[in-house]
Structure 1
């Protein structure tokens, strides 16, 4: 009886846990979840083996096989989840082609959800490049060929006027995080239309694995308004609308209907993450819905937050405070201007100087050269704050020589743009030049880790967007850092959800950056790293979530009251656990 009451209490705790409630009681890592609550039933027999949420494969015990009519449907051996994990990692390592690993992992997710997340949590450094950049980029390019089962919602122009009905078709009703794309600017690969679905799917698997948001509360969505990619339009295997992209009023009306339907169906506290929208739409959507919805743009805000964390950490290696350094960006789109603005906000916060003054320490180069005041009339609105007084400079190398930055940050989406001359120029006036080559996937990186270390004779502090292998130079092994958004958005999302925040504020992004920067240890610095290793990512995410939630409470944006006494412990307790449960 005592055990029964304990189970009921555990279930009730999960059910009333503020913004993280779940009918399955699957939220918390620390609740009594090893046993299914009495109030929850699972399917039996063949149906149970085909249900990825509850299937355990060969890990079903003898008792469970009798209770759930599984006798004869499985081989006689019963093994542990750990042995299943060992076998799967062995199998995955046999694949020579990364896309084959990606497909094997997607198959596993469709077959056994908990085992998929257990694999991802325990082997994050090895598997992150498979489910995320760079492999997810190739998966999107070939999505029409590898498409098997839908993993999210597809909302096209055909659904105009019926989007609320479409949302109701999704089986899970308690959604906490939506990642949505229109596929126009997938990584550095351009317009992939409907095939951009690989990005929301990949991002949300990381929300669950790294941030502990339960999988059933995550919803990937692709909005299909057509594609301008001629190759896809002629491809027999393309799965999207065969028409050129809708723009203007037609596009705006569809997006507005979508945003209203999401709020109507899932409420005020569902986090909507915009992903890989083209610049002209990304800024407009964030500005338009930032005051009415809980929205977050990972390309603008997530990238900015993770890069700011690296910049703050790098100061421990190069010395000085933020305001004493000069920043030069190659790329003035979503990522570049987003990072620049967050650095300026942090600088303003530290020095109490107006943000307009702080922006003058930050320079941007676009395809036409240095952004200066003489170009102001022809600039897009999001570039105008960065048009400073200076003579026209036509290319990056001349800009580096003229500005003499301490930090060189690449967000151009164009590979090989940090040439030997550019990197050597950075090294000529910096003892420890900081070079961040952020463009994804690896093929689009502004320079490789090996080039950066070789051309600076090992003096560079380097991080990239996609992973690079360690580099040996003059007998010393350099481990390049990875300025990966996966450090920020899972913990940020958890902080927003667990606090019941109703809006995203810039100060919450600064809080996430500061929390990540604090996780870099002296040992990491000694190895030249400005980001902590990914293997501790769940602990890092809990720290970020706690800091973000604390800021939400401070700003009066949190609705889950009262505020928990220990936010880090509360964050950890809210995290989804991929360990198997015992079925009654």
Structure 2
């Protein structure tokens, strides 16, 4: 190997320096590092050999102290590690002890990112085996704080940053990414991160976090995942004035300039990775989210988690809740606080499911679903001023300004919050719901925890323990009148990893609404009687990989049924096939 390197270096001397300069002590400076000055250029030589020192710094192959005696000999690791050999299970135990010693969630997040950068398989084994404990750390709610402080805590950058500087060169940028077989891209422009607003380039924490869950919960191999941030600037004055901000220091590009960059990106992705790569839009502002989904839904395999993923998981929760409430989906009356991506997306999927169950036109099934936005109830008299995505929900009704008055007038059985505004389900609102229903269904979905429309404690206390409650961010179990209530979490992580896996194993080329309905039905079917006995309307995350496999199977089956699958012939047992395709984080033996 040394001869080969010498030949390479002799054939291509370093630019601006003598490639064989002798420095003090007679050491040959083949890289020119000691003789180069700031004015002189040098070539940044790198040699990738999976052995020795470089192996310990390769997160894809590093095993740390788990390298066997034989591996240490054959891969030149002797002396580079302490003499002890430990197994992966003991490494997991040690790291969990370290994580639990941190008191601040952001410190735990940073520790997890550090593990991911140093030992990929150990990171995923840690996450898979402790998913309920670590999910709030790598995802909601801690990831929101991480995005706010991303410029200060950023270590080794993850994913691709495509800014306006790269306009006209996006395909070249994609080719800079080392992995060539990409199956899932999660992309954001950072304009509407959780309930935190415009975080610009620092929104990268969201695609990174989502793709960790694609791997841990859905079994998509890490090398097939690509996080992307499209940086068109930010309107966040605090970030523009922050010396540690990592993005473009300009106000957001809009209109044609924005559309051209997004179109170049979408075209380049298809050209570079083919039409079966899943592109998940994440945390785009309403005005762009709906447009992008409508524009590219017919030409690309695209999915918006805020619109479609949230809708699918909430529909599953409502369907499961009916086992406790009684009646059918068509018997319910729905009231939403919030008419953005999440609210209208959930409303439409519920209307589609009722339409499917009752064979009634969706225009009819929408009539029992009411939405309240910042100006009050969405009604026909407001039609001219409404954004297009709100217009299907403008019903014949007198205008109502306040939520509590809307609850009293409409008498909903299900109240769903997706407003992004905390504490909007007041005591009066919850008590009114409880006075109208024996078991009021109340979903406070806004993230992070501080933005939740009401807490689990408030919902159970104000409803005297009768509410069937779910939130977007996790809440601890609540004790009320001597009884323990386990609040559900309508977490998109129940749906999107299995949904994506289903698209991939079937080779789907488009997303269809019926696939989302299939995912909801599959998730609702995973809630056991034991879960219902505890008041749970979502299954525990401890079994999430099995759940994801069942969701994937139902989604794949629907893709085959609709003629959208390209991986032929269809496997006989789709659940078993989904499980067989899942990434395993267990260490491999090296020759």
Which TM class, normalised by the smaller chain length?
A: over 0.9
Q: Which deviations, in whole Å up to 9, do the C-alpha atoms of 1:362-408 show, x marking residues without a partner?
A: 00000000001111111000000000010010110000000000000
Q: Which deviations, in whole Å up to 9, do the C-alpha atoms of 1:149-204 show, x marking residues without a partner?
A: 11000000000000000000000000000000000000000000000000000000
- In the other structure, the counterpart of 1:122 is 129
Q: Would you say 1:426 and 2:398 are equivalent positions? A: no
- In the other structure, the counterpart of 1:347 is 354
- In the other structure, the counterpart of 1:321 is 328
- In the other structure, the counterpart of 2:250 is 243
CA distance in 2, matches of 1:504, 1:245: 30
The match for 1:192 among 185, 195, 199 is 199
Q: Would you say 1:55 and 2:79 are equivalent positions? A: no
SS, match of residue 389 in structure 2 = coil
- In the other structure, the counterpart of 1:335 is 342
- In the other structure, the counterpart of 1:478 is 485
- In the other structure, the counterpart of 1:562 is 569
Q: From the CA coordinates, give the structure whose radius of gyration is larger.
A: 2
How far 1:566 moved relative to its partner?
Answer: 0.2
SS, match of residue 173 in structure 1 = coil
TM-score, normalisation: structure 2: 0.92
How far 1:42 moved relative to its partner?
Answer: 7.1
- In the other structure, the counterpart of 2:317 is 310
The match for 1:492 among 481, 493, 499 is 499
CA distance in 2, matches of 1:60, 1:262: 38
CA distance in 1, matches of 2:408, 2:265: 47
Could you tell me whether the CA contact under 8 Å between 1:360 and 1:388 is conserved in 2?
yes
Q: 1:355 to 1:48 in 2, by over 3 A?
A: same
CA distance in 2, matches of 1:527, 1:331: 29
SS, match of residue 145 in structure 1 = helix
Q: 1:42 to 1:500 in 2, by over 3 A?
A: farther
Could you tell me whether the CA contact under 8 Å between 1:42 and 1:54 is conserved in 2?
no
Q: Would you say 1:401 and 2:434 are equivalent positions? A: no
Counting only pairs closer than 5 Å after superposition, residues 148-187 of structure 1 correspond to structure 2 as: 148-187=155-194
Could you tell me whether the CA contact under 8 Å between 1:492 and 1:545 is conserved in 2?
yes
The match for 2:538 among 531, 535, 543 is 531
- In the other structure, the counterpart of 1:19 is none
**Greater RCO (Cα-Cα under 8 Å, separation 6 or more):** 1
Unmatched runs of 5 consecutive residues or more in structure 1: 1-40
- In the other structure, the counterpart of 1:274 is 281
How far 1:145 moved relative to its partner?
Answer: 0.3
- In the other structure, the counterpart of 1:581 is 588
Q: Would you say 1:387 and 2:397 are equivalent positions? A: no
CA distance in 2, matches of 1:538, 1:42: 34
Q: Would you say 1:300 and 2:345 are equivalent positions? A: no
CA distance in 2, matches of 1:529, 1:355: 30
Q: Which deviations, in whole Å up to 9, do the C-alpha atoms of 1:497-525 show, x marking residues without a partner?
A: 01000000000000000000000000111
CA distance in 1, matches of 2:585, 2:103: 27
- In the other structure, the counterpart of 2:50 is 43
CA distance in 1, matches of 2:383, 2:531: 42
CA distance in 2, matches of 1:526, 1:329: 27
Unmatched runs of 5 consecutive residues or more in structure 2: 1-47
Counting only pairs closer than 5 Å after superposition, residues 503-522 of structure 1 correspond to structure 2 as: 503-522=510-529
Q: Would you say 1:262 and 2:269 are equivalent positions? A: yes
- In the other structure, the counterpart of 1:17 is none
The match for 1:550 among 547, 557, 568 is 557
